[in-house]
Amino acid sequence: MADYKRILVALDLSEESSQVLDKAGEMAKAFGAELCLTHVIEPLTFAYGGDIPMDLSEVQEQLQNQAKEQLRKAGDKFGVAEERQRVVLGQPATEIHRLADELESDLIIMGSHGRHGLALLLGSTANGVLHGAGCDVLAVRVHSD
């Protein structure tokens, strides 16, 4: 079995994120590993392709500030220092790979909603992370409460 020292936890900050964080906490405790938390926000220009004739930078900044606050609260639960919490802007799978490499993570933990059919065919963030990661990936099956 691998000996994990640095675990990158990718959270979508949904209500189900606590399930992922709980599993990450168990893994960190079992291996004596350091947790790093991240949340990736897709730029609004990605979603709207510049079709909206207005400046979205203020809205983007508000989203980032809200995400930082939610990540801080999640980090507090497991004593993850703020310098090991990252809110980044970009394409989720790409940014998670980049961060895992940058932080020399040996495990990425993230949630998976277990989608089927068309959603699975089109791919998901978990699938994208799994297929491009340079380290182990643990996809935690999350359930809506």
Give me the residue spans of the domains in the chain: 6-141
pLDDT of 93 higher than 90: yes
State the pLDDT at residue 58. Answer: 82
CA distances, 94 to each of 62, 104, 144 (Å): 23, 15, 26
pLDDT of 47 higher than 70: no
- 3 state DSSP class of 28: helix
pLDDT of 122 higher than 50: no
Question: Residue written as tokens 């220092």?
Answer: 81
Q: How far apart are CA 75 and CA 138, in angstroms?
A: 19
State the pLDDT at residue 51. Answer: 59
Render pLDDT for 57-83 as a digit per residue (tens, 0 to 9): 788 888 899 999 999 999 998 899 999
State the pLDDT at residue 115. Answer: 58
State the pLDDT at residue 16. Answer: 86
CATH architecture of the domain with residue range 6-141: 3-Layer(aba) Sandwich (3.40)
Q: In the structure, what pLDDT confidence band is assigned to residue 45 with cuts at 50, 70 and 90?
A: low
